[in-house]
Each structure stands twice: as C-alpha cells, then as structure tokens.
A and B are shown apart, each in its own frame.
Chain A
Amino acid sequence: MEIVFGRPKALTKVEFHYCPGCTHGIIHRLVAEIIDELAIQGKSIGIASVGCSVMAYDYFAVDMIQAAHGRAPAVATAVKRVHPESVVFSYQGDGDLAAIGTAEIVHAAARGENITVIFVNNGTYGMTSGQMAPTTLIGQKCTTCPEGRDPGRAGYPIRMSELLATLDGATYISRESVHTPARINSAKKAIRKAFEVQLRKEGFSLVEILSTCPINWGLNPVDSLKRVEDEMVPFYPLGEIKKCREV
C-alpha cells in the first residue's frame, strides 16, 4: 500500500489546539506543504506571533522563535540578517500585524527585508475571545463593539495588504482565502510564490489569508465559510495586489 496523503514533514505530530471550524489548521498545513515542496525545512526559521497562532512553535517542525505581540517582523529582520541563507517567515494574525505591530510590519516591508509574512486575517481578536480588531468590518459585532463596529466611534477597517503594497520595499503581496477548495489551491500557490521570492532574494513578500473564527463570530463552521465569501471578500478583495517577477 502506498500512502498518497499524509502529514507534511514540516508539521510536528502535535495536535492543533484550534477551535472547530477555524481555518488556521489549513493555513498551517499549506505553509508546511510548501516548506516540504521547496525542500527548505532544514534552513527555515519561523517566527510565531501573539494571538491564536502563538503556539505555532509547537506545530512547525523547524527552528521557531516566539515574538512579543506585533514584533515578529523586527525579530524576523534580525534573524535573516544573521543567517541570510536561511528562510525566515513570520506567521501573524490581524490583531498582531495590523494593530500593535503596525510599525514593525510597515518598516520591515519598507526596508525590503527578504522575509516572508503569512498574515492571517479573521477580523477579530480570537485568542482574547472576540474583541474588535483593526480589520473588523463595519457593523460586525465584537465584545468591544457589542452594537457592531461604528465608524464614528471606532473608525474603519484597514486593508493592510493594499497599504503595504504602496511601499517600494514590498516585492510580492497577495490576498487569499481558504474557504473553498479552489481558494485553498490559490492560497497555496501564493504561499509558494512568496517563499520563492525570498529564495531568489528579491525582497519582502506577504500573503494575507482571510480566515474564520466561528466561536467568536457566533456562527457554525459552514456559515463561517459562507461569511468569508459574503462579507469579507467584498471588503477584502482576493488576488495578487503586488505581483512579483514571473519565473
């Protein structure tokens, strides 16, 4: 018997702690599959952030550094400067990257740091149980905007990928989603491109991936996937925002 589908080598055997219906697991898997396919497990160094994915250091079978909230791009910057031949990626949520870590992500991109950022956007602070994030949509209910996000009081959601794409140092930026099999395939291609940009030493690459948070959205897993399509995608359009050189 031949095994045709198994756990990627770049994932440890530790079971994910993610909630049912959360798509972090799919995204972890995609990153691990790309690490396997590019045969870079031995030279990869991952930077975990603060948020639901904080324990990514238990899941990726590569050297891992857990960074303070929002600081992963600064940590990644230094690791890459020390080991320029390694492959350095950060894995950050939207609270981490788009709020407390805004300065670090903007400047890592502006410097054109040769790192790859996996940016998981579920529009809420999942780990702290559903507070408003900078990416929370207008009208979306959160524990800190119980009547729904009111732009008069809480401002507007940030499209980080578009913002970062304006920077000369950013080489490749794409927004993806994993709410359908086709989207999963597209997200995987984008993740591969992002890592390839780094391997070619072409600069900063980031893949934003729209993700679900059924528990804090108050939806079941299936309705959560539907919400990505119906509510998130219209505000966060999918596709390559900054294209890299095709090879």
Chain B
Amino acid sequence: MEKVLMKGNEALAESAIRAGCRYYFGYPITPQSEIPEYLSKRMPQVGGVFLQAESEVAAINMVYGAAAAGARTMTSSSSLGISLKLEGISYIAAAELPCVIVNIMRGGPGLGGIQPAQSDYFQATKGGGHGDYRLIVYAPSSVQELADMTYQAFDIADMYRNPVMILGDGLLGQMMEQVELPEFKENKLIKTADKSWAATGTKESRPPNIFNTLYLDPEKLEELNLALFEKYKAIESREVRAEEYMTADADLLLVAYGITARIVKTAIDEARKKGIKAGLMRPITLWPFPKALANQLSAQVKCILTVEMSQGQLIEDVCLAVGRRVPVHFYGRVGGMIPSVEAVYHEICRYAGMKDDALLELDAGIRYTYAEV
C-alpha cells in the first residue's frame, strides 16, 4: 500500500469508513472538526449517513440507536463535548452496544482551550458517566496509529459488544504525517459479527429484540452488573496492549501515552547518549491498563517517572500497579501546553542523579513525587 500525507483527524475518518462504518453522528468542536467535515463529504460517496446533530447529547443517542439497529457507527468530539455524551455512553455500555467514540482532547476544565491536552484520562478510563461500566480505551501516538486503532476498534467493539474510545489529542488530530491507510471492508453492515440481537423489525419471524437499561428489581440489576463484570474481566485478560522502548536494561522507567510518549522517546534517546539507562512503557490500551507489565518493570528500576499533559491521572494507575516498590515521580504540562523534549530530558537527568548543565533552571510544569517507598 502506498503512503499518503494526511491530517490525523482525516486519516481517522477515512479509516472508519474503510472499517465499514457507515453511520456517523457528530457535532462541530475544535480540534476535531475535520472528522465531521471529512465524513460529510465521504459518507455520501460510500452510501453512508453523515448527520450533524443538534448537540453532542443527540449525537451519542443517535449512535445508541444506530448501534441497536445493528450498524457500525461512530461519533467524535473533544473533551467538553465528551462530557455531554457521558449520559449516552453509560446507556450504550449498559445496553452492551458496540460503537466507536473518538475524543480528540483539548485543555480544560470548563470551556478550556483548543490546544492539546491529556486531562480526560480519568473521564475515559474511570467511567465518567454514571454507574459501573468500562470503555476499552486506545491511545494512539501517531497518525498511522490513529488510522490503525480506529480500524481495529470497530471489530473489538463488535467482539465484546462494548463501546470503544479512541483517546487522541489536538496535536495528533491536527498534525500531518505519512500514513498507510487500511484496506476497505465492503459490507454496509459488516457480516463478520453476529448481529441477530439487533433491532431490525421482527419480520414476525422471531420474538422482539429489546434494548433496555431499566431494572427496577435490584436482583436483576445485580445480574446485569455481574455479567458486565465478567465481560470486563475477560477484556482485561485478553486486550491489554503496551509498547516497551529500551526497557531491557532500564533502571529508570518512564510511563507516558499518546503524543507525550513520542516526546519521551526522544528524551530517552538523549539520556542514553549520556549513559542513563532510561526506558519507556507506553500503554496503548489505557483501559485495560497494562498493570502486569508495569509491575514487572518496576522490579528492575530505581524509580518511575510518568509524563503527562495533565496534573497527573495516568500516574494513579501506575501507582496502583506497582504498589510501593519504587518511588513514582511526575512531570507534566497542563492547559494545552506540551512538555518539551528538553524538559523531559532534564527530569530524567535529575532522577538519574546527573546534573544537566544545559538546563540550570527548571522548565515550566508540574513536578511531584506521588508515591514514596
């Protein structure tokens, strides 16, 4: 396949079409508006439906309807827009409907800004909406991964009848990179997944298919929750994905995801030149989180440093995974600011006990030690 130069948001949108998504419902919000714009042009070309909803709330409920009707369906938004969708996401998770939800994160809280951030980690991985539910959350770190993970997300969603979130950020969505687009899946309603459960009309040949999330009898609601719990356990055992970079001999472990992981890799390359044995664990699935890998790596290192574009959210999962085995430090930028390679390099030098002469003053950002041993 040839490589093309594409903007992240557009590569994601094209990839969704190639994965067989024919029903997209969205609402404009920066920095993801290229997704609805692109799909408004492309969906009619492939016989699909693009619908600009009246709100994020309506868009996610349209996704609920389309998913219940058996279609491959997607919505996308950014941060505050996802907040509006959370009610619907909880219903979708409760009704066990497959769909893909894209969050191209921007700085918050409130109206925030339009520059990249990673401050919706909690929202994506810890529920966000009401009730006990889980999203499978992918964190791409390149335009290629935006395309690939979106493509795979539809199959994973179908496999588990569970909503899948692509958690990107404004930088990924807006940047242009080379990308090899995945192959076209042709069917309008991909037949690979059994969707005999869908609302299609009974044709008077089967009992009605009913989608409901109301259980007034607590014993029945507990049954639903137990079934969900079993499903989530199965997902945790099978779907964890992570990348390791220079961890084999590492005694200083960095943990970062998404675009931040790429900045960290460059900083690690610089540190390695100085003889610092730094390595990176990059969670690709934020939920399920690569707990076992984090725990295993923590046994070989002196300390862990997480780098995030937030006040520190991923770091909580790191600490839960490694316990009190090693100190876990944090460095992050917030509000739409991006950590520089130099700043991350400087942090690595600090924790490696090396003086970095080039940077006498600490760069801006948040620093703390979350867990002392």
Contacts and interface: CB of A to CB of B under 8 A. Distances in A.
A binds B: yes
Interface of A: 41-45, 47-48, 54-55, 57-58, 60-68, 71, 74-79, 81-83, 86-87, 103-104, 106-107
Contacts of B88: 68, 71
Contacts of B213: 66
Contact of A74 (B62, B202, B211): B62
Interface string B205-219: 100111111100000
A77 B54 contact: no
B61 A66 contact: no
Interface in B38-52: 49, 51
B203 interface: yes
A86 B64 CA distance: 17
B321 interface: no
A43 B201 contact: yes
Contacts of B87: 68
Of A44, A66, A86, A103, chain B has the most CB atoms within 10 Å of the CB of: A66
A68 B58 contact: no
A75 B202 contact: no
B345 interface: no
Residue with the highest number of chain B CB atoms closer than 10 Å, among A67, A77, A81, A82: A82
A17 to B, nearest CB: 10
A183 B51 CA distance: 38
Contacts of B212: 48, 57, 64-66
A76 B66 CA distance: 9
A63 B51 contact: no
B127 interface: no
A82 B61 contact: no
B57 interface: yes
B201 A66 contact: no
Contact of B54 (A44, A63, A78, A103): A103
B205 A78 contact: no
B214 A78 contact: no
Interface residues of B, number: 38
A27 B70 CA distance: 29
A79 B87 CA distance: 19
A27 B71 CA distance: 31
Centre residue among B87, B199, B210, B213 by max chain A CB count within 10 A: B199
B188 to A, nearest CB: 9
A104 B61 contact: yes
Nearest to B22: A82
Contacts of A76: 65
Contacts of A107: 53-54, 58
Contact of B214 (A55, A81, A103): A55
Contact of A65 (B51, B71, B204, B211): B211
A67 B64 contact: yes
Contact of A41 (B49, B204, B211): B204
A44 to B, nearest CB: 6
Contacts of B205: 42
B61 A68 contact: yes
B69 interface: yes
A78 B73 contact: yes
Give the top 8 A-B pairs by smallest Cβ distance, nearest first.
A78-B65, A75-B65, A107-B54, A42-B204, A82-B69, A71-B61, A74-B61, A78-B62
A209 B343 CA distance: 66
B201 A74 contact: no
Contacts of B331: none
Contacts of B91: 67-68
